[in-house]
Amino acid sequence: MKIENDLILRAARGESVERTPVWMMRQAGRILPEYREVRSKLSGFIELVETPELAAEVTLQPVHLLGVDAAIIFSDILVIPQAMGCAYQMIEQKGPWFENTIRSQADLKSLHIADPASDLAFVTDAIRIAKKELNNRVPLIGFAGAPWTIMAYMTEGSGSKTFSVARKILYTEPAFAHKLLGMITESTIAYLKAQVEAGADMLQIFDSWAGILSPALYEEFSLPYIKQICEAIDEVPVTVFAKGAFFARELLGKLPCRTIGLDWNMDILESRKLLGPDKTLQGNLDPCLLYADHETIRNSTIEMLKAFGPNKHIANLGHGVYPDTDPDSVRVFIETVKTYRHS
């Protein structure tokens, strides 16, 4: 059946659209009281991710409550290391923590290539439920972390401002790094294909820690693996969001994907020039702008829309929406995009 509102899919494919489609990274989350109510009944974040009915419920909340043009499945990029045998915990106020890190060839023996059917069925089940509940109202986005970003957590053992342990490995143990990245990539391709089979209409690859690598390291240890994933997924449009990788925009433009996400530090016109005319661009309002008064949000959103132009643009923030953002301010952003028409 045809999706009623397929703006985001048409924009990703580079087709003309009546208006710019809009959604937000982290739209299903703590900005919504309804999300906090669901979460309050559970032991924590991971339980919510691993309970398909509840993950589907919070996936749909932004569609119903905010009017976004797409849902994104509620999950976590770190389900991949967990599925490979590297378990993690989510510590309140601190973030992810891995009891056992992967830092040597010997540690690789504890890992296996993830099998979506047995290791990640809770995600594909959540997608099937959400897809059914959406009833073809808007598309459903699936996602995964880029291999370098996943490796950074598996080797560092937690979040970090520098990921110096992970980066050290790239210099001192490159063969090990490539082996681990290859395993993550193989697992991720199988996982994303399973998401598409379950009903995902579009996919996004999050390279959250792209910006902490030098251009040379990024070109060797991240881009080839993202390219491999993009080449393997030809069923649905794929978006690559490489946070902080301003230095790699020309190379990102050569990836076999439909859309490149821009963070808020990337100039729109410069990015279009570097990425080329064929890519759809996604982004890139500064999430902190949503703390401003409503008039400022409207004016800044319109400026952004004018800079991107009428086609090959999916409106979004330049990173995930911050958890203490007022939902009414979010609605102003979304409604401004939905009512704006390019002259």
What residues are annotated to the active site? 26, 30, 39, 76, 153
Q: Both ends of the chain: CA-CA distance in Å?
A: 33
Place of tokens 């643009």: 313
Pairing of strands 238-242, 202-207: parallel
Residue 316: is the preceding peptide bond cis (ω within 30°)?
no
Distance (Å, whole) CA 74 – CA 58: 7
Secondary structure letter of residue 158 according to DSSP: B
Distance (Å, whole) CA 107 – CA 154: 11
Which residue type, as a one-letter code, is found at position 192?
L
Residue 176: partners with Cβ closer than 8 Å, 6 or more residues away: 104, 105, 108, 169
Nearest alpha carbon to residue 189 among 221, 230, 141, 223: 230
Q: What is the DSSP string of 280-325?
A: EEEEEE-GGGGGS-HHHHHHHHHHHHHHH-SSSEEEEESSPPPTT-
User: Do residues 124 and 195 make contact, with C-beta atoms less than 8 angstroms apart?
Assistant: yes
For residue 132, which phi and psi values (nearest 5 degrees)? -65, -45
Pairing of strands 280-285, 313-317: parallel
CA distances, 209 to each of 152, 182, 288 (Å):
8, 18, 20
Distance (Å, whole) CA 237 – CA 7: 13
Which residue type, as a one-letter code, is found at position 38?
V
Nearest alpha carbon to residue 321 among 282, 281, 286: 286
Q: Look at the chain and count its residues.
A: 343
